Amino acid sequence: MKIKNYATIYLVRHGRTDWNDKKLIQGHIDIPLNSEGKTTARGLAQELRKINFDKVYSSDLLRAKQTAEIVALEHQLEVETTNALRERCFGEIEGKSHHAFKKIDLILDNLDDKTRYSYKFNSDMTMESDEEMMSRFLTFLREIAIGNPGKTVLVATHAGPIGVLLIKLGLFAYKGYVHVDNLGYVKLESDGVDFFVKEMVGVKRKDF
């Protein structure tokens, strides 16, 4: 039987920012890493230094791009950025406290999985649903896998798309939410069609 030539993809959440510390909703707002974020990203670079990365991709938001650049420096690789790897757009609640999620969480927890996947809750309708976020994110991951068979790739991104991807792949139930630590990561193998989770670091499910 022929063995498929999978790409290995490390999905890494960005390092800490001041807005992480203040528990403010970042979304598409372009917040840089703080000093702790840069220091711990250098620690991750050391942790992953023996992995032979062939390419590095990143969300074009600064906090992810800076994380990718710190890790890529260890491997002397350039970082390719794209808005397809961005965090969810949270619309009008970006910049507000995480307390804004409480009302949303109560609504989401009472929806069936299909409805929740396409649900948009904010009044200006600019917030991305899980479905919209996955449409861009998963499409790009498939392109990476197809374009890099047999290679190992680093992808610096955000907690939202990583968490929803793991739910979509059946690793977590669609209740509560998937928490990804800053600099937590998921190791995947993919041929562009199927995705297999091989390792998770700093990832767990939390209840609302």
pLDDT of res. 105:
78
pLDDT of res. 77:
97
Active site residue 87: yes
Instruction: Point out which residues pair with 187 in neighbouring strands.
Output: 10, 199
Q: Could you please report the per-residue DSSP string of 157-195?
A: E-HHHHHHHHHHTTSS-SSSEEEEEEEEEEEEEESSS-E
The domains located in the chain, with CATH, are 7-206 (3.40.50.1240)
Selected catalytic residue, list 28, 69, 80, 87: 87
pLDDT of res. 102:
80
pLDDT of res. 3:
47
pTM score of the predicted model: 0.93
pLDDT of res. 2:
37
Which residue would you say has higher pLDDT here, 59 or 206?
A: 59
pLDDT digits (tens, 9 = 90+) for 41-57: 999 999 999 999 999 99
Instruction: Point out which residues pair with 206 in neighbouring strands.
Output: 177
pLDDT digits (tens, 9 = 90+) for 146-200: 999 999 999 999 999 999 999 999 999 887 679 999 999 999 999 999 999 999 9
**Averaged over 105-129, what is the pLDDT?**
82
pLDDT of res. 71:
97
DSSP H helices in 48-147: 62-75, 101-108, 113-118, 130-147
Active site residue 14: yes
Mean pLDDT for the chain overall: 92
188 and 196 in contact (C-beta within 8 Å)?
Answer: yes
- Report phi then psi at 26, rounded to 5: -90, -50
pLDDT of res. 50:
95
